[in-house]
A and B are shown apart, each in its own frame.
Chain A
Amino acid sequence: MDHAAPKETDHIAFELNGEPVSLSAGPFTSLSDAIRDNGDPGTKIGCDAGDCGACTVLLDGEPVCACLVPLAQVRGRRVATIESVHHDPLVQRLVHAFSRHGAAQCGICTPGMVLAARALLERVPGPTRAEAEVAIGGVLCRCTGYIKIVDAICDAPHDLWLGQAIGGVGARVRHVDARQKTRGTAEFGADFAPEGSLWLRVIRSPHASAIFELGDLDAFKLRLGLDAVLTARDVPGRNSFGIFPNTKDQPVFAERHVRYRGEAVAALVGRRDMIETIDVAEFPVVWTETSGLHGIDAALTPHARAIHATHPDNVLTRGNLKFGDVVAGRASAAATAQGAFETSFVEHAYIEPEAGYAVRDGDTITIAASTQAPYMDREETAGVLGIPEDNVIIAPTACGGGFGGKLDVSVQPFLAIAAWTLNKPVRMIYSRIESMASTTKRHPARITAKASADARGHLTAYEMTGDFNTGAYASWGPTVANRVPIHAHGPYKVPNVWNRTRAIYTNDTPAGAFRGFGVPQSAIANETLMDDLAGQLGLDRWQIRRINALKTGDATASGQVLHASAGLAQCLDALKPAWDKALEDAAIHNATNVRYKRGTGIACMWYGCGNTALPNPSAMRITLQRDAAVGAVFHVHSGAVDIGQGVSTVLLQIVREALAVDGAFIWLTPDIGNTAKTLDAGKTSASRQTFVSGNAARLAALDLRAKLLRLANAGDGAAMRLEGDVLVIGPEQRRIALAELPADLESFGTYDPPTIPLDADGQGVPYATYGFAAQIAEVMVDTALGTTKVLHIHAAHDVGRAINPTLVEGQIHGGIAQGLGLALMEEFIPGRTENLHDYLIPTVGDIPPITIHIIEDPDPEGPFGAKGVGEPALVATAPAILGAIRHATGVTMRKVPVLPHRLWEALQEGKT
């Protein structure tokens, strides 16, 4: 019998990736922790509860979640992790196939996916898609929509690795970081920290609204031997953070009262074993729970308590767009449709929980953490520490998914305060539950809207009011309130528009940025009303959209003339054959089926790339460095954080195209987004990086190209090629030996999208360019059980120019998967769905086939015509699914998610 007394650790011997190891860890230590602590961080921990499969390893060849396996049970057995790639040909084939297919975006689920697939390939050398789906059914991915993962698994037996040069614009180049992402060597926030780092753990409020008093913290600290117990009194600078200078309303540590469940009140810093075993019940705090204001209605009740004294009515901010005269527009209409709509909190559910570390060196502090916005993190951290921004270095780690959720600081202020005050390196890793309970969500929306059209289907008016639950703190609430009115009437020409929004404070989890900034919510209302109008006027649902589609030359309701690249009509035309076929298929099916009903829905979207009428510049730097090994190398120093979408790859392709130097090596320098080593490229959000940073990179490349041409007094169009460190220029083949230049060459590019500030009625030029798209959803509804299966999505997206079609497809697949989740299953309820088994995101088995039409209506403002696609990918999916459900059943669902019981209840009402 193996016994372990308390405090005793075992040596547990087993075979790890073909080598014998003996780990000194407790028998109850999970295999995932044990492997990672032993120095192999390729096994990722996404939930620590068997819900996500990220930590999948092979135990005697069979896939298991390493987080559920006690180390004691591994004694004498064989374990294979992603590090087995060094000797396992099957894993190598998978890794190559994942790279080639763009199947790894952020890369956090990739090791688990590869190992789950490896077990399948062992058994079934040439698997079908269905077999591949069963094999990875237990691993969640939030980026890819799974399709390219299944492609890769099915192709792995045939795939041979072929090296690649970085192609130019339009090439299906592999992600530049594919090697690290697929082999588990990309370093995420939880993967590393300086030797001897202390650990930090946050004490959080279990109540949504409470007053609290802290007891004797010093005695607590001494008794447990902690290095520090940090509270509001320990914040050296400003005990608050927030996105905008006037909305820094969220304390790092609450003072006297808390406003949401999960709010931080203190942080414990000490040795890991102490930090992990503390019973928080012993922490000296006395809570007095008070009644919270949950939901928009409660917060807007007359005389409701003010959640922030600065906002007595609990209205954080208002947005407004007014164009024409909606009353007159309605009066001239042949049909008017209206409705009230409701959406839920949606969790980003990136598979990498927030993590990182901080190190102080004299007057400077470095914070390495998973983020989408290094320069904003720098500003927040400096403010919290009360030191100049130049003394803070943000060194982003690999980011295991963001989707807007890593635009706010999370671990950064805690780490900064601890490392600064203790002058020791400090690290922390959020648990999944902590991440879900404490970080931002998509705003729940309550929208009422009214749409009018004349007899021929031309829209005459659109009016909406939308309230967005921004939770306890402002976060990106103002951005949502301002972006929605501009987009809420959809990508249509509407002569009379009045859209009003409010962001409402409540005692719920803070809502912030999430792929689309409120536009996905407003599109649900808008597109449902378009269907209503079509129904009233006897028009086809595709037709009414085609009639009203914004085109180049049209003015928007902001008064902005679209000078180019308004490709919605082309998107709709590309989908027309699929639309006709889907309607026919549904009719044929439904003629003979009573219980299972097919339906087809269509929705359009538009989305302005970049900040709303605010500057959001990006700066890029390129150097041409002489390199002993290869001659000369162009180095792109990028501050644009790649959160898996592939901006790094896109930038290199743009640079190659703009430089137009044959044979050039173009490398991405490490330390992407490091605020000490790269220029500010702005945040990775608002679908802006390809468009804005792409332009900055293009300009930097053109600048460098001009410098090279000047070396030979050559004209603009002269051809150039590199031969080792010799540059050969122009028809005369002038040869410039780069080694003889006095210094490396350096160039810069800066781009800020041209916009014009909005007036009080939302008139101006809010964005330099817009993405457009249309999507069709085909569904099958079980009318007896209220379940909806999405059978197919057809997506046509005007991306201006697809710099890398594989990456564009990856964004569209992933966006559709999130849109499907929004429509059918995702509902964050504070305190109730704080984990990945109660909060459901789509698995591989929930994603239908997706047919993509990439429409390229180039925007002269974009780099080689390109626009953003990250957020546009998601917006149209949920309304298309809702339209399909209505087509199938006759029932209009105005609340998402359409959980089976909700649709069933609506069907019951429809019957009576």
Chain B
Amino acid sequence: MSAYHRPRTLREAVTLLRGPEALTVLAGGTDIYPARTSRTAWGARDTRGIVDISGIAALRGIEDRGDHWWIGATATWSDIIKADLPPVFSGLKAAAREVGGVQIQNRGTIGGNICNASPAADGLPPLLTLDADVECVGGVEFRVPLAKFLTAYRQTALAEGELVTGIRIPKQTGQGHFVKLGARKYLVISIAMVAGVFDIGSDGEVRSARIAVGACSATAQRLPELEMTLAGRHLDPALMAAHHLAHLAPIDDVRASAAYRQAAALQLVRDLIVQAAATSRRAA
């Protein structure tokens, strides 16, 4: 059996991570255990030790910190669903409710979702649309915009010896939305999903729109061209065109074809815009 550490403080965790042992960070275990099951099924052995960060109080919680919201790395999806957060978080909450089933929502953490960096991670598009920064610690504390943190397929900017401590989301107005597409209702890895944060003026004009698409590229992607197109106009799905998705690079896999993903992303973003327009009309 490999080593298992359960530090109580961040300092202890970082000391361990910067030490000589090769350690894997564990919080909710919803990625670590399935990965172990998958490896050992074909006979590979688990050798890396574990540093279990679930006991570190400083990583827990969801807080209003004046100019920003802070979500601790070990906040679970259920914590996010239950948290009293403004409407801009509605997309993130909707995503949280679509992760796995209740059992996974009770265990999976937002920090794990970010660090696992799956292209199909449901939490990433909503966080991108919230302009989230990732707070990290290693030799020093540092902060990275989420879009920069996600560097490649299942790769992050985190180096050995570093740890994500939380997510920082600037205070903002607007309404969040999320739409997921999967081949069944629960416990399903997304074929594609989209998230958006829309700030609509009382005149119905878009003050700002931020939209992101997941499972259609190695990492979830914002749609900057579309966001600019929408700004200053009334929300209308017809403003959305295929070229707004030109930078996506979906793949064929067991869940769907690349061509389908590209087309589905277009439809889902249009659906998202329709949903956002309907919500803003109701609010007006």
Contact = CB atoms under 8 A, between A and B. Distances in A.
A587 to B, nearest CB: 25
Interface stretch (A24-32, A298-306, A604-612, A864-872): A24-32
Interface string A847-870: 000000000000000000000000
A11 interface: no
A837 B189 contact: yes
Given A6-B2, A832-B254, A51 B187 contact: yes
A840 interface: yes
Nearest to A261: B42
Given A64-B103, A72-B6, A49 B43 contact: no
Contacts of A8: 1
Contact of B38 (A73, A433, A843): A433
B147 interface: no
Given A116-B103, A431-B37, A279 B43 contact: yes
Nearest to B12: A1
A601 interface: no
Given A1-B8, A833-B254, A65 B104 contact: yes
Interface string B207-248: 000000000000000000000000000000000000000000
A837 B4 contact: no
Contact of B254 (A431, A784, A827, A904): A827
Given A50-B104, A827-B254, A899 B3 contact: no
Contact of A279 (B30, B44, B191, B261): B44
Nearest to A897: B183
B106 A62 contact: yes
A813 to B, nearest CB: 17
B54 interface: yes
Interface string A96-137: 000000000000000000001001000000000000001101
Given A63-B103, A279-B43, A281-B43, A26 B254 contact: no
A50 B30 contact: yes
Contacts, number: 202
A119 B3 CA distance: 34
Interface string B22-66: 000010111001100110111111000010101100000000000
Contacts of A50: 30, 33-34, 100, 103-104, 107
A27 B102 contact: no
Nearest to A59: B106
A578 interface: no
A432 B37 contact: yes
B260 interface: yes
A851 to B, nearest CB: 21
Contact of A138 (B40, B102, B255, B260): B102
Nearest to A280: B43
Nearest to A55: B103
B191 A900 contact: yes
Contacts of A745: none
Nearest to A203: B43
Interface in A61-114: 62-65, 67-70, 72-73
A13 to B, nearest CB: 14
Interface string A248-279: 00000000000000000000000000001111
B6 A2 contact: yes
A7 B1 contact: yes
Nearest to B47: A279
A464 interface: no
B3 A5 contact: yes
Nearest to A73: B54
Given A787-B181, A846-B185, A63 B102 contact: yes
A201 to B, nearest CB: 8
A138 B107 contact: no
A3 interface: yes
A444 B42 CA distance: 25
B280 interface: no
Contact of A904 (B29, B107, B260): B260
A835 interface: yes
A56 B34 CA distance: 15
Contacts of A901: 191, 256-257, 259-261
B153 interface: no
Contacts of B29: 68-70, 73
Nearest to B185: A845
Given A50-B103, A53-B103, A30 B264 contact: no
B143 interface: no
A843 B183 CA distance: 11
A48 interface: yes
A585 interface: no
A434 interface: yes
Given A72-B4, A840-B183, A116 B256 contact: no
B183 A899 contact: yes
A594 to B, nearest CB: 13
A834 B34 CA distance: 13
Contacts of A4: 1, 3-5
B43 A283 contact: yes
A2 B50 CA distance: 12
B263 to A, nearest CB: 7
Contacts of B183: 824-825, 840, 899-900
A723 to B, nearest CB: 53
Given A6-B3, A279-B45, A845 B52 contact: no
B204 to A, nearest CB: 24
Given A1-B7, A64-B106, A73-B52, A277 B185 contact: no
Contacts of B255: 899
B45 A277 contact: yes
A829 B254 contact: yes
B186 interface: yes
Interface string A203-218: 1101000000000000
B21 to A, nearest CB: 10
A717 to B, nearest CB: 55
B44 A281 contact: yes
A791 to B, nearest CB: 14
B184 A843 contact: yes
Contacts of A825: 183-184
Contact of B107 (A5, A69, A433, A840): A69
B43 A137 contact: no
A122 to B, nearest CB: 13
Contacts of B7: 1
B30 A68 contact: yes
A433 B41 contact: yes
Contacts of B37: 47-49, 67, 431-433, 835
A431 B257 CA distance: 30
Contacts of A119: 102
B116 interface: no
A905 B264 CA distance: 11
A331 interface: no
A158 to B, nearest CB: 24
Given A6-B3, A843-B186, A280 B42 contact: yes
Contacts of A840: 183-184, 188
A33 to B, nearest CB: 11
Nearest to B45: A279
A787 B42 CA distance: 34
A70 B36 CA distance: 13
Contact of A785 (B8, B181, B184): B181
A47 B185 CA distance: 19
B78 interface: yes
Given A50-B103, A62-B106, A844-B186, 5 more contacts: A2-B5, A3-B6, A65-B103, A116-B103, A905-B259
Question: Sorted from nearest, which 5 A-B pairs have the closest CB atoms?
Answer: A138-B101, A280-B43, A845-B185, A137-B186, A901-B260
Interface of B: 1-9, 12, 26, 28-30, 33-34, 37-38, 40-45, 50, 52, 54-55, 78, 100-104, 106-107, 181, 183-189, 191, 254-257, 259-261, 263-264, 267-268
11 contacts: A1-B12, A6-B2, A65-B103, A70-B29, A116-B103, A137-B101, A203-B43, A277-B1, A280-B42, A784-B267, A843-B184
